[in-house]
Structure 1
């Protein structure tokens, strides 16, 4: 198997926030149903298409804890790796806690899986970016200004050039910016 890829697939408000200050994502709900169904995505893709294309998920502890509040585990049988130093309850037997070096995690995942989805949150995404561990960014820009909240990018990052791969939009104002990062710029 060739080395797999890591994709940061995430939504942010137009002003760059992925959640409100208290971690809330309720502002996304108005767009969730139509986007999940692929109904308004002019590119023909949808969350379901993306989800079906990934082999495993990686997320930070706060994102994982938020997902646990949703009720039923939304990721089915996909292997999920939660980066944390805490002992957290496991949603399923497919969830694994990881507390080691991020490079070692990514090396292991890309050797075992073709496509890994970096779910978030912000701190983990920023750590992956600083360590050059992301091959592709798929950022859905939501036509909402939150004014404040948890920013996707902080001011402690490094300058990186990205290559725009596509930028489909939808009738409801969502724009997905798909970028190649570094050596992975020629992703399909």
Structure 2
């Protein structure tokens, strides 16, 4: 059984669009592309290195795959991520049945990407790591396929933009397994599944007349 691990850089208000540069994803008039760069420091680099140090395959939506395929095969020779991403398997979700990737070790998930991911998850191999891929993540969250979330939260509010979670995300409790803070104020947190969502109450055992009236006014 393979784990699916979501890796994401997000703003304080949950936006994860175009972290790498102004031309990465300006869709929707997004004007803050490259918002991660001013906060990236040595501790963040160490955190990224730890993530990529363990065996993994990439699980990507088509737009993020295109961004990676146009960048990492051409990265500088001293950048270890380029050769790593070249070597590992990359599984791509796309709605285009004619799409034929040219980047080595790339595989199309097929017409039913969720079913294909379930099959990969149930099989043998390294963990499946997502990067970016906001549209594809919606399907993974809606179908309760995510085992861990590794999210770096940046001290910036971006307003509009593509977000990590959508309203249809499968309800799920999480447990914090690791947390670090960079010198620039980025919190790098790792969460794992922890069963169903637990609820409780701070209400009085016997509601007041005012509370009963408030509830009636909600309908």
Q: Considering the TM-score relative to the shorter chain, is it more than 0.5? A: yes
Q: How far 1:6 sits from its partner (Å)?
A: 1.0
Matched with 2:53 is 52
1:1-188 aligned within 5 A: 3-19=1-17, 22=26, 25-32=33-40, 34=41, 39-41=42-44, 45-70=46-71, 72=73, 74=82, 75-86=85-96, 87-99=98-110, 100-182=112-194
Q: How far 1:182 sits from its partner (Å)?
A: 4.2
8 Å contact from structure 1 (residues 11, 142) kept in 2: yes
Post-superposition CA distance 1:95-122 (Å, at most 9, x none): 1111224143233245221311022311
Cα 1:182/1:133, change in 2 over 3 Å: farther
Cα 1:114/1:50, change in 2 over 3 Å: same
- The CA distance in 2 between the partners of 1:54 and 1:12, in whole Å, is 24
- Number of matched pairs: 174
Instruction: Identify the structure with bigger relative contact order (alpha carbons < 8 Å, sequence gap 6+).
Output: 1
1:116 aligns to what SS in structure 2?
strand
- Greater fraction strand: 1
Between structure 1 and structure 2, the one with the greater Rg is 2
Alignment gaps of 5+ in structure 1: 184-188
Alignment gaps of 5+ in structure 2: 19-24, 75-81, 196-219
